[in-house]
Amino acid sequence: MSDFAPLGELFASERSIYIGGPIDRQKLWYWVAGEVGSWSLQGFSSWGIETHDGAFVGQVGVNKPNHFPEVELGYLIMPEFGGQGIAFEAAEAARAWAFETLKIETLVSYIDPKNACSVALGQRLGCVIDPDRSLPDGETTDETVVYRHRRAA
């Protein structure tokens, strides 16, 4: 619950445009509850990222809400923590966990092509654009590019 207030500020801002925002606190509540509930329903979801002193940095997750055709590796970092390699380190750890624990061979990241930071991170993680992919329900190729993560050989 301590992460809800900083998430509320992020999701109320224009910075959240690439992650479904801006949204109000009520919609954020459903979003957070869905992520927490996914641990019980599916056995995976998101983790909060914090500094050693407990400051909320962001989150990384392995998710598959009902409208996603595949399991996704997603990430978000609070603006003040951007550019420090935190998202890369967290995404690498979450991806390794998904491959080892869930025993899946591939993940995707659904990225808005205008979100330069997420595109750069996906490329740094070694993802490739998948032209033969399915998009989340209701999304178009103008707003979503599918980056594919594959288990290392």
Region of 54 (left: φ > 0; alpha: ψ -120 to 50; beta: rest) is left
Residue 16 has pLDDT above 70, yes or no: yes
Per cent of the chain over pLDDT 70 is 99
Contact 145, 129 (CB under 8 A): yes
Asked if pLDDT for residue 92 goes beyond 90, the answer is yes
Of 107, 106, 147, the C-alpha closest to 124 is 147
What's the structural domain count of the chain? 1
| Residue 105 belongs to domain spanning | 4-150
36, pLDDT greater than 80:
yes
What's the pLDDT score for residue 129? 97
CATH for 18: 3.40.630.30
Per-residue confidence band for 17, with pLDDT thresholds at 50, 70 and 90: confident
Predicted local distance difference test score (pLDDT) of residue 1: 85
pLDDT, mean of residues 95-110:
96
